[in-house]
Structure 1
Amino acid sequence: MMKRISMIFSVGLLVLLTSSLNLSAQNKVDLSKIKLPDGFKISIYAEGVTDARSLSSTPDGKTVFVGNRRRKNVYALTDTDGDMVADRTDTIAKGMKTPNGVAYHKGDLYVAEVNRILRYSDIMNNLDNPKYEVIYENYPTDAHHGWKFIAFGPDGKLYVPVGAPCNVCEPEKEIYASITRMDPDGANMEIYATGVRNSVGFAWDPRTEKMWFTDNGRDMLGDDIPACELNYAPEKGMNFGFPYWHQGDIPDPDFGDKFPRASFIEPKYKFEPHSAPLGLRFYQGDMFPAKYKNNIIVAQHGSWNRTLDAGHIGYQLRFVQVEGDKVVGSEIFASGWLDQESNKGWGKPVDILEMPDGSILVSDDIAGVIYRISYGK
């Protein structure tokens, strides 16, 4: 009897192990699907990072902080042996309200929830027992476009977007559809730019120290309009048109007659409509070919509401060349996350982070991984 039970247990264990292996194989990311320019290669920096969104790191690149939008946690991923693969995970925060944004600054980790900004002081010496203080808590509580990307600018201030609480509307408060900034201690919060529907990424040109940001266009005007935007914001006080004008030259059906087109700043580049450009970085390393130096790589997250006939769009990385305040070139840098036959995306790029060696990391909130893209002849 015991022998029979043992056999049943062994067979059951074998089935369980086989099922687990098959499940793992089915869920494993197939990197061969990703198309890159000659000389580039892609690998996995971290896997099993559910809903991986915004990225930031310590200056040495050994620890990468990851925010997320749905899972309420913030993680620190550490590469302890220098092989460019994370092998240690610390959970910095649990139970947060959409902690999408993370920014490491002078030893402290900043985390953005929907309505407040947290600071974890001296984070690297407190990974085992992280504690935060609330430095600002007066942002709106609306969940619609409430998730936030954050970053420190060359002026030492923390920049924080506030999305529109709707697809398209005239918000009652000026704080909506804006990009704000504040001191590192949360003081002196002010509005930097307005008319910004939903920015989930911005960066500063290392040559000019001027801001560029992505903005997601409104929905429900059709498959092919309006374009998503890449905008240039060199100074405080600029208005980029939402909700009155879209992509710089399309008046909104409900609000476009309230102000003339010339009242607003037009985008410097128009992405594919509904392609959802999110994180962007100016590449500053020496690993990639020279043409990438001081130019932009953008994560296009991918569409959600285009019709089946039109097909989904985005699910890629785009390279954008800039000179001063102008875009002078653009091309697809990485693609393959969208399966063309099924019209389904198996992965969605979110944010980009340059590492000290010149490679870049790319988060994917659908596949649950962080990729590393490197170059070598």
Structure 2
Amino acid sequence: MRTYLILLSIIVSMNSCSTPDNPTETKEEPEVIEPTDSLSSLKLPDGFKIEIYAEGVENARSMAMSDEGVLYVGTKDAGNLYALVDTDGDFKSDKKYTLAKDLNMPNGVAIKDGNLYVAEVSKLTRYDGIDQKLENLGEGTVIYENYPTEKHHGWKYIAFGPDGKLYIPVGAPCNICESKDEIYASITRINPDGSDREIYVHGVRNSVGFTWDEEGTLWFTDNGRDMLGDDMPPCELNKATEMGQHFGYPYCHGGDIADPEFGSKFPCSDFVVPAYKLGAHVAPLGVKFYTGTMFPASYSGSLIIAEHGSWNRTRKSGYRLMQVKVENGKAVSYDVFVEGWLDQEEQEAWGRPVDVLMLKDGSLLVSDDKAGMIYRISYSAA
């Protein structure tokens, strides 16, 4: 039993708010834990329902949907790239294509003009006319390959902004460190053809999810540093109002916590404070504004955040979906939307939410890299 717990802690640590300073370079078969009562253990508000959209999607991480309704799913540890198709419109995928294998942490996927963009640790590849290549992906076009090669926080979430540019984060290559190269702990952006890479914002330890509001302003999650105790620092929801802003890492955490090693170099007042302080070690990843009409009006304009869950806390935190209400451009509340992937009594999790994506009908897809599933959350007043 002791050996099992040690191995489990190693696997979990590679996917949470941060990773240990010396992550393993070898790829191990992911542990599969079957949910005891499947989805019945999940708690949702009245009127909401969660169902399986797709299962057997090993290590399902970031998602992107084409105009034709093909769902593309990246992975981190599995190294696979998937396409899921709902051929009969019943909101359940009935075809799964494994487009590629043995990629280098292909976490990030994005769609633009019918082309699929895939982010590995150090490079970006574009697959043109992707919906017509499900049976045979073929060779893509590498549009950029000069991102750092470190795997510690090296996996990338990517998305196209309202300016037409592709946004790509570069995590810190450590738990806490001061990097000489300014590319680390940043969010960058680049043209769709791979030209003119630039740093958009600094001081971002490890962002694995971002989105834009109606005004075109970038909101992003950031995973706080480890080894400062169970309850500090908070993970963060941030708002970037202009290019060049600095969000504190590694000098200041949560807007007002000076780092014990680097905090003496700059006061916290030099940096942008979080739009909202989230729970400590909850590992916020995917985030989207809810802009549909299916959910009740109280969800309109809210942010839905997938919290992947802690790895180094005495009692685990996260493993849930959260709703952050936004009023007049400010985050005003932080409440549980869906929970139950973590058994609080046993302190064991059967699932870990990663990314969220809204369908045209207003329902919500959620990826789970531990259970290997994609869920669909819908609402009916009846």
Q: Same fold (TM over 0.5)?
A: yes
Verify the 8 A CA contact 1:202 1:211 in the aligned structure 2.
yes
Matches within 5 A, 1:83-162: 83-130=90-137, 131-162=139-170
Question: In the TM superposition, what is the alpha-carbon distance from 1:324 to its structure 2 partner?
Answer: 3.5
SS state at 2:332 partner: strand
Distance (whole Å) between structure 1 residues aligned to residue 241 and residue 122 of structure 2: 26
Question: In the TM superposition, what is the alpha-carbon distance from 1:325 to its structure 2 partner?
Answer: 3.3
SS state at 1:31 partner: helix
Distance (whole Å) between structure 1 residues aligned to residue 187 and residue 328 of structure 2: 22
Distance (whole Å) between structure 1 residues aligned to residue 48 and residue 116 of structure 2: 31
Higher relative contact order (CA 8 A, sep 6+): 2
Instruction: Please identify the structure whose Cα radius of gyration is greater.
Output: 1
Matches within 5 A, 1:39-118: 39-60=47-68, 62-118=69-125
Q: 1:314 aligns with which of 303, 313, 318?
A: 318
Question: Counterpart of 1:252?
Answer: 259
Verify the 8 A CA contact 1:232 1:325 in the aligned structure 2.
no
Verify the 8 A CA contact 1:208 1:324 in the aligned structure 2.
no
Question: Counterpart of 1:367?
Answer: 371
Distance (whole Å) between structure 1 residues aligned to residue 274 and residue 143 of structure 2: 33
Question: In the TM superposition, what is the alpha-carbon distance from 1:254 to its structure 2 partner?
Answer: 0.7
Question: In the TM superposition, what is the alpha-carbon distance from 1:26 to its structure 2 partner?
Answer: 5.2
Distance (whole Å) between structure 2 residues aligned to residue 181 and residue 323 of structure 1: 28
Question: Counterpart of 1:289?
Answer: 296
Verify the 8 A CA contact 2:34 2:371 in the aligned structure 1.
no
Question: Counterpart of 1:9?
Answer: none
SS state at 2:121 partner: coil
Distance (whole Å) between structure 2 residues aligned to residue 189 and residue 339 of structure 1: 43
Post-superposition CA distance 1:130-164 (Å, at most 9, x none): 13110000000000000000000000000000000
Change in Cα spacing, 1:25 to 1:248, as seen in structure 2 (3 Å) is closer
Question: In the TM superposition, what is the alpha-carbon distance from 1:268 to its structure 2 partner?
Answer: 1.0
Distance (whole Å) between structure 2 residues aligned to residue 72 and residue 312 of structure 1: 27
Question: Counterpart of 2:310?
Answer: 303
Question: In the TM superposition, what is the alpha-carbon distance from 1:32 to its structure 2 partner?
Answer: 0.8
Distance (whole Å) between structure 2 residues aligned to residue 154 and residue 69 of structure 1: 26
Question: In the TM superposition, what is the alpha-carbon distance from 1:128 to its structure 2 partner?
Answer: 1.5
Distance (whole Å) between structure 2 residues aligned to residue 375 and residue 171 of structure 1: 46
1:343 aligns with 2:347: yes
Question: In the TM superposition, what is the alpha-carbon distance from 1:29 to its structure 2 partner?
Answer: 6.1
Verify the 8 A CA contact 2:325 2:333 in the aligned structure 1.
yes
User: Counterpart of 2:323 in structure 1: which amino acid?
Assistant: F
Q: Structure 1: state its 5+ residue gaps.
A: 1-23
Q: 1:164 aligns with which of 164, 172, 183?
A: 172
SS state at 1:127 partner: coil
1:215 aligns with 2:226: no
Verify the 8 A CA contact 1:73 1:99 in the aligned structure 2.
yes
Distance (whole Å) between structure 2 residues aligned to residue 280 and residue 89 of structure 1: 25
Distance (whole Å) between structure 2 residues aligned to residue 198 and residue 35 of structure 1: 29
SS state at 1:32 partner: helix
SS state at 2:356 partner: strand
Distance (whole Å) between structure 1 residues aligned to residue 205 and residue 107 of structure 2: 17
Distance (whole Å) between structure 1 residues aligned to residue 124 and residue 179 of structure 2: 22
Verify the 8 A CA contact 1:178 1:197 in the aligned structure 2.
yes
Question: Counterpart of 1:353?
Answer: 357
Question: Counterpart of 1:7?
Answer: none
Question: In the TM superposition, what is the alpha-carbon distance from 1:27 to its structure 2 partner?
Answer: 5.6
User: Counterpart of 2:54 in structure 1: which amino acid?
Assistant: A
Q: 1:190 aligns with which of 160, 176, 198?
A: 198
The RMSD of aligned alpha carbons is: 1.3
Aligned positions, number:
349
